[in-house]
Structures are given as structure tokens and as C-alpha cells.
Chains A and B, each alone.
Chain A
Amino acid sequence: MFAPLALQGRLAVAALVAVLLVLPLVWHDTYVLHLIILSMVFGAFAVAWNFTTGYAGLKTFGHHAFFGIGAYFSALISKNFEITPWLTTPAAGLVAAAAGLVVALPVLRIRSVPHVAMVTLGFAEIVRVLLTVFRETTRGEMGLWGIPAYDGFTIPGLGEVVFNAAEKVPYYYLAAFLFLGSVYAVVRMVKSPVGLALVAIRDSQDAAESLGINLTRYKLLAFATSAFLVGLLGAFYAHYILLLTPSSVLGLDLMILVIGMTLIGGVGTLFGPILGAFVMTIGVEAMRGIGEYRMLIYGALIVAVVMFMPRGLVALLDGLGPRFGFGRGVRMATADDAKTG
């Protein structure tokens, strides 16, 4: 996973990025672009979640809290104080990162997987309930609307760029920027000494600590980085969809969706969560015809993947050539499982 990609791997990445960037120029179907925008948002979300869970080994089940915090913060500040979303979006990332630090503090004290799962989930539920309770400001489940879209601007030579519901292309490129940026940031971190330290922590906390790795610092760093990215995505989502309810951006459903995507794609790999997000977002839409049964199939699929294909869909790509999976699946077991899990 730390070896540089083989030439064919690099070419494949370059080709995929090129396809992603050229696509809206040739395919103008608004609905298709919308699906790809959502795939990119969830893909980046899954990559960020996978960073804490698959690499740093902090198995959190409450990352939707940061998505919701980012979305509501950016929406409320830009709406009520008439500040441009271009400023509130990065600010939302920082607020989410700060919230990430608050959650990470109790998580640092515990190693047991179930406890971490419960405290992170509990935190997200608190945020959701608070947003529902303070309905004078957030409008609760009635839905927060009137969220400003991103301000348009002019690119010399290309003309004016406008963000509105009908015009998907500017949103598409903004989503692509966030998506590729998040993936790049996570890849850089994973391949840096920080990534090595995180994987060492995941595989054995005691061994890592004995080698002088500062557990606290690295865990906080991983959590805050991941929360920052998810907060940014939440803010983008708010200014894209323009309607928020606590259950849509803070429901456990959202977290389960992202967890499912990561598991199906391949947990602990770089490419897996992205593959999972695209396959599932587009797949669930394609299954719209079978209506209410698609979530039934989704649940069964999660169980089947966990049971029979623990490495996820990326395992299928191994056959295409060495390292085409962009980092082979890593085992999810940690030395601490034996002790506490």
C-alpha cells in the first residue's frame, strides 16, 4: 500500500480523472450530472471516514455529525448574516474539525470498538436532537430553506459562472474539486510518515507507543482532518441541495449509507470507498424501479459483502494487474481486538 503505483496504475488514475473532468462537457443530462455530484460527495465522505476507520483504526459510527454540523453551520451563517458561502464553507470545515477534536477526546481514553461506536453515535444523536429542539433557528424537521447558493463569478474568456438549481456544471466542477482534493489530501497523509504512524497505531497501540509514536497527537490529527473534510462536504451539500432537515443530514441512515459504500467497495483501501460510493449511488438510483425493495437489497448486500467478500469490490480489480486495486485490502483486525473487542 505504500509502494508507488505501477505505471498502469498511474495511467488508470489519470484516465479516470480525465473522464471525470471532461464528462460534463459532453454529457449535458442534468440528472446524470446530479448523480455524479452526489457520488463525488459521498465518495469523498467515504474516503474521509475510511481514513479514520480503515487507516487510523478509530472505528467511529458518528461521522454524519460533522456532515450535519458543516451543513447547518454554513447554511445558517450565510443565510442569517449574509456572508458569502465561499467563506462559510471553509469555516464550516474548521468548525467540524473543532467538533471532531471534542469527540476525539473521550475516544482517546477508550480502546474497545463497541464503546467508540457508541460514543460517536451518541454525539451525532445529540447534535441531531439539538438541531431539532432549537427550531426557532433551524426550523427543525420543517426544513431549513432559503439557503443562499454560491455567488457567481466571471472567468475571463469563458464567460459567467452561475450557481443555481438548473445549472449543474459549476456545481459539478466544485464537487470534483472537493472530491479530488479530499482524495489527494488523504492519499498524501496515508503515504506520509503520519500515515505510517496511524497504521502502526491501528495494528498495535502498544507497539506503536513503545516506538515513540505520540498516540494522542496522531489520533487527534486523524480525527480532525477527517472531520474537516466531511464538514466541507456538508457545507457544499447545503449550498447545493438548498434544503436541510436534521434527519436528512444527521440521520443514522446517512452514516449507514457511507459505511455500506465503504464496506462494499473495500474498507482500508484508497480506491475502495470511491468505487463503493459510485457503484452504490448510481446502483441505488438504477434500482429505483423496484421501489421499496432496494434498501432491503442494500442491507442484504452489506451482510453478504461482510460475510463472503470482506475485502470488498476492489478485490475484483486485483486480477487486472498488480496494484490496480490502489493499495491492497488491509486486514481490519488489530492487536487490540483480542484484548478488548
Chain B
Amino acid sequence: MTLTLFLEQLVNGIILGSMYAIMGAGLALIYGTMRILNFAHGEFYMLGGFFVFFLFAQHHIHPVPAVIIAVAAVALIAALVQRLTINVLLKREGWAFSTIAATLGVSIFLQNLALALWGERFQSVPYFVEGLLQVGEFRLPWQRVLIFGVAVGVMATMAVVLRWTRFGWAVRATAQDAEAAAVVGVPAARIHTITFALGAALAAVAAALLAPVFAVNPWMGLPLIIKAFVVVVLGGLGSFPGAIVGGFLLGIVEAIGITLTSSEWRDVIAFGMMILFLWVRPWGLFGVKER
């Protein structure tokens, strides 16, 4: 193991970590405002991947509008799903479980819809940008640089929106206490729908960027949602900054872990870390201790 190879692994870990962070941040945003675990998160990711495949790889639309359309379409579908299922269930008893069950159903539905539309084959998407960035012996495809850049940009924008805009205040107020927020005039139900769509849009961004790296297929969401679960456990369920730190942490630990063992152990390392965290710090790095 040379130093360069190790550095390359580490950088790849950080880049993959930025994707885990975006996936986890979407899940955390949804959990943070509605207290529900979205099992269909992986399928919103999968849809994002297929939309980019459809627009960019099949119809040769320029990647920038292609990605924007794909992400917007996923957000729209998510808003519809939220309106039709979660919004209704949230008003009933036992919603902590029924929303998980409903999103599980949505997840199976979307997986098989994609299967019927696009088939089970792995479909490849070309790189958005060609070429390699080379510094000394160290090389990195520009696509990966792009992934990292967009990820950081998206996360920074989200952080700014949540911190300093009226919409962000409304989201955080609803997260703290939906009823109290409604009393002061925040339309809680609409905020829930928008937040859900936004969370799904983050998953679609990750998918759009990763589609050229991993191929797209109907089951591509499953490994990523499980990673997103790990991320939110590390960071603390419902914490946006926690998800970002958790994502990078997971990416880096995985990268170091697989250089010491082999790439087959990647998932074992990730889940092992999750279970370890649930043992010693179940509320995560940034979560509030609650029983």
C-alpha cells in the first residue's frame, strides 16, 4: 500500500461520504420535521437515477437541465406521495408504525414500476465530464470532483435556507412543535409536504451525480437507503448537521476499513459502526439524548 494509493482511497471515501451525507440529510430532514422514517427514500434515489438515464443517456439532453428536471420530477412525485399517504396517516393513531408500513409499500410499488418501465438490466450513464485531474502521481476523474463540488454546494445552500430564510424558520418551527407553529400561522401541513419533497429531491441529487459511477437499476436504492440509515444513526436522527458529519465519517471509515481488509467488508464495517453507535450513543453525535 503506497501513500498515493491510500490517499486516493481516502479522497474517494470523502467523495462517497458526501453522497451518503446528502442521502442522510434528506432522511434527517424528513424525520426532523415529521418524525417519520421514510422507507421509500431509496426509491426516490432510484427514480432520480432513472430520470437522468432517460433524459441524459437516452435523449442526450445536456446534463445540467437533465439533472434539474430529474430532481424536480422526483420532488413532485414525493410531494404527491406525501399528500396521499403520510399527510393522512399523521392525523391518526399509531402513525409511527403506519407511516413506515406505508412508505414500505410505496417502495415496493416504485421498485416494480421501474422494473416494468425500464427492465432489470443495469443501465449505464456516461460521465458528465470526461478526463482526469492529475496532481503529481495522484489522479482523480473530473466526474468525482464534480460530485464533491455539487454536494458541498447543495449542502451549503440547504444550510443557508434552513438558517436564514423565512421558509427555513418555518421548517424548524414545525420540527420543534407542529401545533405551536400552526398557532403562530405556519402552515404545518404544507411545510410537511414541502420538506418531504425537499428530502426526496436531495436523494435525487445524489442519484443524478452517482448514476455515471454506479449503473442504474430498479434495486439501486436499497444499499443507499441502508447507508442513509447508518448516517442518521451516527449523526442523530433528525439532525441536519449530524447527517452531514455522519455521512463524511461513514465515507472515511469505510475507505480506511476497506484498505485494511477488502471491499467486500464495506457493508459489514458500515453496519458494525451503526450497531456500535446504538450501543454507546443511541442518540447519535448531534442528537438530543432521549429515551
A residues with a Cβ closer than 8 A to B are 59, 61, 106, 109-115, 117-119, 121-123, 125-126, 129-130, 132-133, 252, 256, 259-260, 263, 292-293, 295-296, 298-303, 306-307, 310, 331-334, 337, 339-341
The distance in angstroms between the C-alpha atoms of A332 and B102, with both chains bound, is 14
The distance in angstroms between the C-alpha atoms of A252 and B39, with both chains bound, is 12
Q: Is the CB of A126 within 8 A of B97?
A: no
Task: Judge whether B106 is part of the interface by a CB distance below 8 angstroms.
Answer: yes
Task: Judge whether B181 is part of the interface by a CB distance below 8 angstroms.
Answer: no
- Distance of B107 from chain A, by nearest CB (Å): 7
By a CB distance below 8 angstroms, the chain B residues around A303 are 85, 102, 105-106, 109
The distance in angstroms between the C-alpha atoms of A296 and B229, with both chains bound, is 25
By a CB distance below 8 angstroms, the chain B residues around A295 are 108, 111-112, 115
CB-CB nearest in chain A for B232: A118
By a CB distance below 8 angstroms, the chain B residues around A263 are 101
> Which of A118, A256, A310 is in CB contact (< 8 Å) with B104?
A256
- Distance of B283 from chain A, by nearest CB (Å): 9
Q: Is the CB of A298 within 8 A of B108?
A: yes
Q: Is the CB of B98 within 8 A of A118?
A: no
- Distance of A2 from chain B, by nearest CB (Å): 21
By a CB distance below 8 angstroms, the chain B residues around A337 are 93-97
Q: Is the CB of A114 within 8 A of B31?
A: yes
By a CB distance below 8 angstroms, the chain A residues around B265 are 133
Known contacts A125-B226, A303-B85; is-contact A292 B112 (Cβ 8 Å): yes
Besides A114-B96, A295-B108, 14 other A-B contacts (C-beta < 8 A): A106-B278, A113-B37, A114-B237, A121-B229, A129-B271, A259-B101, A263-B101, A292-B116, A298-B112, A303-B85, A307-B85, A310-B92, A332-B97, A339-B290
Q: Is the CB of B102 within 8 A of A299?
A: no
A to B CB contacts below 8 Å, 20 in the list? A61-B100, A106-B275, A106-B282, A112-B237, A114-B37, A114-B237, A115-B282, A118-B229, A122-B230, A122-B275, A123-B271, A252-B222, A256-B104, A296-B115, A302-B101, A302-B108, A333-B94, A337-B93, A337-B95, A340-B291
Task: Judge whether B279 is part of the interface by a CB distance below 8 angstroms.
Answer: yes
Kindly list the 10 A-B residue pairs having the minimum CB-CB distance in the complex, ordered from nearest.
A341-B96, A302-B105, A299-B109, A299-B108, A332-B94, A333-B94, A333-B93, A303-B105, A114-B37, A296-B112
The distance in angstroms between the C-alpha atoms of A126 and B282, with both chains bound, is 18
Task: Judge whether B153 is part of the interface by a CB distance below 8 angstroms.
Answer: no
CB-CB nearest in chain A for B103: A303
CB-CB nearest in chain A for B272: A126
By a CB distance below 8 angstroms, the chain B residues around A256 are 104, 108
- Distance of B227 from chain A, by nearest CB (Å): 10
By a CB distance below 8 angstroms, the chain B residues around A109 are 278-279, 282
By a CB distance below 8 angstroms, the chain A residues around B104 are 256, 259-260, 302
Q: Is the CB of B275 within 8 A of A123?
A: yes
By a CB distance below 8 angstroms, the chain A residues around B229 are 118, 121-122
The distance in angstroms between the C-alpha atoms of A106 and B100, with both chains bound, is 21
Known contacts A115-B233, A121-B226, A295-B108; is-contact A341 B101 (Cβ 8 Å): no
Q: Is the CB of B275 within 8 A of A126?
A: yes
CB-CB nearest in chain B for A262: B101
CB-CB nearest in chain B for A129: B267
Task: Judge whether B180 is part of the interface by a CB distance below 8 angstroms.
Answer: no
Task: Tell me the interface secondary structure of chain B in the complex.
Answer: helix
The distance in angstroms between the C-alpha atoms of A59 and B230, with both chains bound, is 18
Q: Is the CB of A293 within 8 A of B85?
A: no
The distance in angstroms between the C-alpha atoms of A26 and B66, with both chains bound, is 62
The distance in angstroms between the C-alpha atoms of A341 and B279, with both chains bound, is 19
By a CB distance below 8 angstroms, the chain A residues around B111 are 295, 299
The distance in angstroms between the C-alpha atoms of A246 and B94, with both chains bound, is 33
The distance in angstroms between the C-alpha atoms of A259 and B100, with both chains bound, is 11
Q: Is the CB of B109 within 8 A of A300?
A: yes
Task: Judge whether B156 is part of the interface by a CB distance below 8 angstroms.
Answer: no
Task: Judge whether B274 is part of the interface by a CB distance below 8 angstroms.
Answer: yes
The distance in angstroms between the C-alpha atoms of A340 and B37, with both chains bound, is 12
Q: Is the CB of A299 within 8 A of B107?
A: yes
Q: Quick one: which of A133, A306, A332 has the most chain B CB within 10 A?
A: A306
The distance in angstroms between the C-alpha atoms of A118 and B227, with both chains bound, is 11
The distance in angstroms between the C-alpha atoms of A237 and B74, with both chains bound, is 40
> Which of A114, A119, A126, A259 is in CB contact (< 8 Å) with B268?
A126
- Distance of A268 from chain B, by nearest CB (Å): 10
CB-CB nearest in chain B for A134: B264
- Distance of B214 from chain A, by nearest CB (Å): 17
By a CB distance below 8 angstroms, the chain B residues around A123 are 271, 275
Q: Is the CB of B105 within 8 A of A119?
A: no
CB-CB nearest in chain A for B265: A133
By a CB distance below 8 angstroms, the chain B residues around A122 are 226, 229-230, 271, 274-275
The distance in angstroms between the C-alpha atoms of A256 and B230, with both chains bound, is 20
- Distance of B238 from chain A, by nearest CB (Å): 9
By a CB distance below 8 angstroms, the chain B residues around A333 are 93-95
Q: Is the CB of B105 within 8 A of A301?
A: yes
The distance in angstroms between the C-alpha atoms of A117 and B237, with both chains bound, is 13
The distance in angstroms between the C-alpha atoms of A125 and B237, with both chains bound, is 20
Over the window 252-280 of chain B, the binary record of Cβ atoms lying under 8 Å from chain A Cβ atoms (1 yes, 0 no) is: 00000000000011011001101100110
- Distance of B77 from chain A, by nearest CB (Å): 14
CB-CB nearest in chain A for B31: A114
Q: Is the CB of A306 within 8 A of B278?
A: no
By a CB distance below 8 angstroms, the chain B residues around A331 are 93-94
By a CB distance below 8 angstroms, the chain A residues around B98 are 306, 310, 332
> Which of A118, A292, A334 is in CB contact (< 8 Å) with B115?
A292
